[in-house]
């Protein structure tokens, strides 16, 4: 079962964490149409790649080379702004998708740690070789 219902709501808004923004900035953006929703400052802006076939949203660049990384990572479970009207998850799909994302993050962490360990081993080996050359050995 596909979790996304293709409502397109996630592609109609620019959402920024308002935490750390000065009250003056929030006021200035509000005067230009931005609204606040919890910790987010929301600006209505339809993505130029968003299209519809009937009521189903589609993306002109979905998973192409120029598909933004935040779009790839949008999983609708609290890591990003979820617009009102988004019907991304029922509870079962939400938990399933969250486990998938957590597994992917775990894999990325493991790969990153392995690369770091390999780099450290290579660096130690190179330092030993330099020491041997300097010692004349």
| pLDDT for res 80 | 63
Tokens, residue 72: 């790839």
pTM flag (> 0.85): no
- Residue boundaries of the structural domains of the chain: 1-89, 90-137
Specify whether the backbone of 64 is left (phi greater than 0), alpha (psi in -120 to 50) or beta: beta
116's enclosing H/E stretch is: helix 91-135
Mean pLDDT to the nearest integer, 29-52: 89
Secondary structure (3-state) at 15: strand
Banded pLDDT at 1 (limits 50, 70, 90): very low
pLDDT (tens digit per residue) in 110-120: 877 788 888 88
């Amino acid at each position: 079962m596909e979790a996304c219902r293709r409502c397109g709501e996630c592609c109609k808004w620019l959402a920024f964490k308002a935490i750390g923004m000065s009250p003056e900035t929030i006021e200035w953006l509000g005067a230009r149409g931005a609204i606040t929703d919890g910790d987010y400052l929301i600006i209505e802006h339809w993505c130029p790649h968003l299209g519809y076939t009937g009521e189903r949203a589609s993306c002109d660049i979905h998973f192409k080379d120029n598909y933004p990384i935040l779009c790839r990572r949008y999983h609708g479970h609290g890591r990003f702004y979820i617009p009102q009207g988004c019907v991304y998850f029922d509870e079962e799909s939400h938990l399933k998708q969250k486990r998938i994302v957590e597994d992917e993050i775990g894999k990325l962490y493991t790969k990153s740690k392995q690369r770091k360990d390999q780099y450290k081993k290579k660096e130690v080996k190179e330092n030993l070789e330099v020491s041997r050359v300097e010692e004349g050995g």
